[in-house]
């Protein structure tokens, strides 16, 4: 069934492209290109980049005007994000990038006004950089703002959402600074291959996908960078007392956004009870005690405990107070696993595809293996080997990997061929979250919007 859905998505996308190609009004075309970008980002169509969307945006990028003369500030990097948030690993990667490249100034430009976490503001200010908010209205107006502000930096690092068209509109034509893109969404379609002089992938598995199926100009694996400091000197016993956790129980823990536990026929909710017994509890950081998670809490007599979002300090302390980290499933959470290993907690994952290179040996096919091994065996198998490799994610080694990648000295815009080749990893992730009624509605909405473009609202 999933193969048929992917083919229908592809056919719907190609139909939309033909319709959009006929549109003459610039604002209508941009609005429809955004709808198509949203569609490809949410509905896997067997492609990981779009030659049509990128070529259309590059043509329109000539309309993004900038000042004639701009002074370039050496050793100053501009990070560009669609938006940032306190939860999730995405913003933490920006934070740790800044902290672990101290020989540079770092500024952040946000394309969608939002609340910036105080800890990110502090890190940027400590590097002698600043925060710029792109509050312009309209695609080309926002793109012109992004382009003009980007010109004064040594290089640009993109941390943008998969469907963000602004970088292509800003950097597609007449932009001289090198542009790198951090591929935080290796599991889906994204925009930006044509204007990325370098793509930094999460691991070698993802780098192979980017090279073969996204046809990026240059790409290299760059490990997720995490803070080396655990953040607390308290013992496990002291931390359990602080967070009202039982001293006499084995504590399993997982940390991820709630959507990573949903989908694929509720496999998490079916499997979790088999990991428990009278001496085990399972803490979830991220999901709130609502809906399916609340029902799981009740059905396990309170042994699965959804704590909701935890700030960095609390999350680090709860990790250190736990005995075994169970990776979120059906969708993995790379950063959280690395933080658990750093905290001295064995990590077990059942994710069958891409993993950080340091955690490949932590994969199992059956999570209930934790009930068959002793604590010593679990530590020897699922903590010790990963901890040996973990320094690749810390400041000095990570910085060395970054600086040994191909140097970014200039900018080129190169449109690459589009490859239709459904990949089992992307298919798996897409299949875990697909809702058939939602899928059908998105297909119909795209077809109708592109069939009757005069009904499409102009962007604000």
Query: Nearest to residue 17, comparing CAs of 449, 459, 456, 458?
Result: 449
Q: What is the pLDDT along the chain (460 residues), one digit of tens a residue?
A: 899 999 999 999 999 999 999 999 999 999 999 999 999 999 999 999 999 999 999 999 988 877 767 888 989 999 999 999 987 678 988 999 999 999 999 999 999 999 999 999 999 999 999 999 999 999 999 999 999 999 999 999 999 999 999 999 999 998 999 999 999 888 899 999 999 999 999 889 999 999 999 999 999 999 998 888 888 899 999 999 999 999 999 999 999 989 899 877 788 999 999 999 999 999 999 999 999 999 999 999 999 999 999 988 999 999 999 999 999 998 899 999 999 999 999 999 999 888 999 999 999 999 999 999 999 999 999 999 999 999 999 988 998 999 888 777 889 999 999 999 999 989 988 888 788 899 999 999 999 999 998 766 654 4
Torsion of CA 317, 321, 322, 328, to 10 degrees: -10
* CATH 3.40.50.11380 is the classification of domain 63-225+398-404: yes
- Per CATH, which fold does 236-393 belong to? Rossmann fold (3.40.50)
DSSP helix, strand, coil percent of the chain (3-state; round to 5): 45, 15, 40
pLDDT tens, residue by residue, 251-295:
999 999 898 998 777 889 999 999 999 999 999 999 999 999 999
Query: Nearest to residue 274, comparing CAs of 252, 242, 306, 249?
Result: 252
Beta bridge partners of residue 217, listed in sequence order: none
Alpha carbons 396 and 409: distance in angstroms, whole number? 23
How much is the pTM? 0.88
**Phi and psi at residue 200, to the nearest 5°:** -95, 115
Contacts of 261 (CB under 8 A, 6+ apart): 254, 268, 269, 284, 287, 293, 328, 329
Q: Where are the domains of the chain?
A: 2-46+424-449, 63-225+398-404, 236-393
Q: Is 115 exposed, middle or buried (0-12, 13-18, 19+ CB in 10 A)?
A: exposed
pLDDT tens, residue by residue, 154-174:
999 999 999 999 999 999 998
Domains 63-225+398-404 and 236-393 share a fold: yes
Helix (H) or strand (E) holding 396: helix 395-404
| Sign, Cα dihedral of 333, 388, 181, 18 | negative
Q: What pLDDT score was predicted for residue 200?
A: 96
DSSP assignment of 306-357, as one string?
EEE---HHHHHHHHHH-SEEEPPSSS--HHHHHHHHHTT--EEB---S---G
Neighbour tally for 87: CB within 10 Å = 16
Phi-psi region at 427: left, alpha or beta (left = phi > 0; alpha = psi -120 to 50): alpha
Q: What pLDDT score was predicted for residue 460?
A: 46
């Amino acid at each position: 069934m999933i193969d048929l859905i992917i083919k229908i998505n592809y056919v719907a996308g190609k139909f939309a492209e033909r319709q959009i190609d006929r549109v003459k009004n610039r604002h209508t075309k941009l609005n429809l290109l955004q709808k198509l970008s949203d569609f490809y980002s949410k509905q896997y169509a067997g492609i990981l980049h779009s030659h049509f969307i990128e070529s259309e945006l590059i043509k329109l990028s000539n309309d993004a005007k900038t000042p004639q003369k701009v002074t370039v500030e050496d050793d100053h990097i501009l990070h560009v994000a669609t938006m940032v948030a306190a939860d999730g690993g995405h913003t933490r990667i920006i934070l740790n990038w800044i902290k672990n490249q101290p020989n540079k100034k770092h500024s952040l430009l946000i394309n969608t006004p939002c609340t910036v976490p105080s800890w990110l503001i502090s890190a940027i200010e400590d590097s002698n950089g600043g925060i710029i908010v792109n509050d312009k209205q309209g695609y080309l107006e926002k793109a012109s703002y992004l382009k003009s502000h980007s010109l004064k930096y040594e290089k640009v690092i993109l941390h943008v959402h998969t469907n963000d068209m602004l970088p292509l509109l800003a950097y597609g034509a007449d932009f001289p600074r090198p542009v790198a893109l951090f591929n935080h969404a290796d599991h889906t379609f994204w925009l930006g291959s044509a204007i990325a002089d370098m793509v930094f992938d999460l691991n070698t598995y993802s780098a192979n996908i980017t090279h073969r199926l996204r046809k990026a100009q240059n790409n290299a694996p760059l490990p997720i960078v995490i803070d080396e400091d655990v953040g607390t000197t308290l013992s496990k016993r002291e931390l359990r007392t602080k967070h009202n956790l039982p001293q006499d129980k084995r504590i399993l823990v997982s940390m991820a956004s709630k959507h990573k536990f949903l989908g694929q026929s509720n496999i998490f909710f079916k499997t979790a009870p088999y990991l428990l017994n009278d001496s085990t509890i399972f803490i979830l950081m991220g999901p709130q005690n609502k809906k399916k998670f609340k029902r799981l809490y009740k059905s396990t007599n309170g042994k699965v405990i959804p704590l909701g979002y935890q700030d960095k300090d609390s999350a680090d302390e709860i990790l250190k107070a736990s005995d075994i980290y169970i990776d979120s499933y059906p969708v993995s959470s790379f950063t959280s696993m690395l933080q658990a290993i750093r905290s001295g907690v064995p990590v077990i994952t059942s994710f069958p595809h891409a993993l950080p290179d340091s955690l490949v040996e932590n994969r199992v096919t059956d999570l209930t293996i934790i009930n068959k091994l002793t604590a010593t065996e679990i530590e020897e198998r699922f903590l010790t080997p990963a901890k040996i490799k973990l320094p690749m994610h810390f400041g000095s080694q990570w910085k060395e990997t970054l600086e040994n990648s191909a140097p970014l000295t200039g900018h080129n815009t190169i449109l690459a061929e589009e490859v239709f080749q459904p990949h089992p990893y992307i298919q798996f992730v897409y299949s875990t979250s697909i809702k058939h009624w939602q899928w059908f509605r998105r297909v119909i909405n795209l077809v109708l919007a592109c069939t009757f473009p005069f009904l499409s609202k102009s962007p604000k």
